[in-house]
Amino acid sequence: MRIYLSRPHMSGHEELRVAEAFASNFIAPLGPQLDAFEARITEYLDADVHCVGLSSGSAALHLALRITGVDRGDEVWISSMTFAGGVFPINYLGAKPRFFDLSPDSWTIDTDFLADELSKAAKENRLPKAIVPTDLYGQSVKLDTLEALAAQYDIRLILDSAESLGASYTDGRKAGSGGDAAVLSFNGNKIITTSGGGMLVTRHKTWADEARFLAAQARDPAPHYEHSTYGYNYRLSNICAAIGLGQMEVLDARVARRREIFSRYESALKRPGICFMPEPRGQLSTRWLTALTIDPSETGSTREDIRLMLLEHQIESRPLWKPMHMQPLYAGTDYHGSGVDENLFANGLCLPSGSDMSDEQQDEVIERITTLLA
């Protein structure tokens, strides 16, 4: 049987919630389950925030950038190592990304490079309209530092927390609750899923109100269809929200299981030439995916040797995200860094990490890798 990288993991609660949605007859992008899902995320984050359920994480970022005022020709500074859907909304608005490297200590945006470039940009009157750092593979960014920089230069901070719902800081803050806004994803491969979907989380009530308005085709209050601006069909389905409600009942258990899977991999595979994604002091990652690097000069095998061997045995693994500044679409785009993300892409691999993976399946993955490296 194929071992997947990260597949949906249902608990049984979801069917009950979906049945409630059908019984309510709200088979639409509004309804009691959607309201309850937004309220449940707000409660979970335990912060003074407002949540708006949307069709995807990319939709949430698109709305956040538009509400921020990002327009044609503006710059948005962003982590280079991220999923394309976390960058494309910049293009939708005609703005320009400027990419930043990762810190080797956290594998999240390097705040030293960011601080240096902000200082230069301030002197040259070319500050960005927004900063969008990515919580990579469930590892949260250096939130306090980023919030201080955003405040210092009066720049909007939008956190791409698509992979990190369930992560936290030891001071009690949870991933997705900081900055001006945060973006969550409930895609099928995430820790919890609504089959497809996302959420905009913001501490600004006016932002949440505007997001709801724009996500519902920007229809003005009138008995007919009246529009004073353009909008989008971005609202989350009430049925999908019902799935999310069921998934929220097991979120912490799913995070605990993924952290257990990471620990088992680390204990079994750590050796000279293999390094696992670090977890900085004061942070608790979701370990959405177990990410590691392989140094072929020490192991005798490359990342691709391992990936292709696993694939032959119906085991899915995947290289780390290819940095956006290396993508053909963004050739020549400004990039600041020392190539930490480039090295991670060249040598990095994500191992199967689904919370429904059995110990026996994980043992098979471990055994096949250790045999290759022997």
- Interval 73-83: pLDDT, tens: 999 999 999 99
At 368, the pLDDT band (50, 70, 90 cuts) reads very high
At 306, the pLDDT band (50, 70, 90 cuts) reads very high
Number of other residues whose CB lies within 10 A of the CB of residue 225? 8
Phi, psi (deg, nearest 5) at residue 274: -120, 125
Mean pLDDT confidence for 91-117: 98
Looking at this protein, which amino acid is placed at residue 125?
A: N
Using CA atoms, how far apart are residues 155 and 131, in angstroms rounded to an integer?
A: 7
Give the pLDDT confidence score for residue 151 in this predicted structure.
98
Give the pLDDT confidence score for residue 329 in this predicted structure.
98
Percent of the chain with pLDDT over 70: 100
The conformation of residue 322, written as its DSSP 8-state character, comes to P
- CB neighbours of 233 closer than 8 A, spacing ≥ 6? 29, 55, 215, 216, 217
Contact call for residues 125 and 28 (beta carbons, < 8 A): no
CA distances to 39, 162, 310, 333, 338 from 201, rounded to whole Å, are 11, 11, 38, 29, 32
Contact call for residues 155 and 202 (beta carbons, < 8 A): no
Give per-residue pLDDT as tens, 334-343.
999 999 999 9
Could you identify the residue written with the tokens 């750590």?
A: 270
Domain boundaries, the chain: 13-248, 251-373
199 has a pLDDT exceeding 90:
yes
- Does the domain at residues 13-248 carry the CATH identifier 3.40.640.10? yes
DSSP character string of 23-60? HHT--SS-SHHHHHHHHHHHHHHTSS-EEEEES-HHHH
Mean pLDDT confidence for 286-314: 98
Strand ranges of the sheet holding 75-79, from the earlier edge strand across to the other edge: 50-54, 198-202, 181-185, 156-160, 130-132, 75-79, 96-100, 335-336
Give the pLDDT confidence score for residue 152 in this predicted structure.
98
Mean pLDDT confidence for 101-128: 98
Percent of the chain with pLDDT over 90: 98
Give the pLDDT confidence score for residue 28 in this predicted structure.
84
Kindly report the average pLDDT of the chain as a whole number: 97
Using CA atoms, how far apart are residues 236 and 187, in angstroms rounded to an integer?
A: 12
Contact call for residues 156 and 180 (beta carbons, < 8 A): yes
Distance of CA 178 to the CA centre of its chain: 14
Contact call for residues 67 and 211 (beta carbons, < 8 A): yes
Give per-residue pLDDT as tens, 239-268.
999 999 999 999 999 999 999 999 999 999
Beta strands in 249-324 (DSSP E): 274-276, 283-284, 290-294, 318-319
Give the pLDDT confidence score for residue 201 in this predicted structure.
98
Q: What angle do CA 81, 122, 150 make, to 5 degrees?
A: 55
Give per-residue pLDDT as tens, 203-221.
999 999 999 999 999 999 9
Q: Is the pTM value of this prediction over 0.85?
A: yes
Give per-residue pLDDT as tens, 220-244.
999 999 999 999 999 999 999 999 9
Phi, psi (deg, nearest 5) at residue 167: -80, 160
The pair of three-digit structure tokens given for residue 134, joined into one six-digit string: 């990515």
Overall fold of domain 251-373: Aspartate Aminotransferase, domain 1 (3.90.1150)
At 273, the pLDDT band (50, 70, 90 cuts) reads very high
Mean pLDDT confidence for 158-164: 97
Give the pLDDT confidence score for residue 283 in this predicted structure.
95
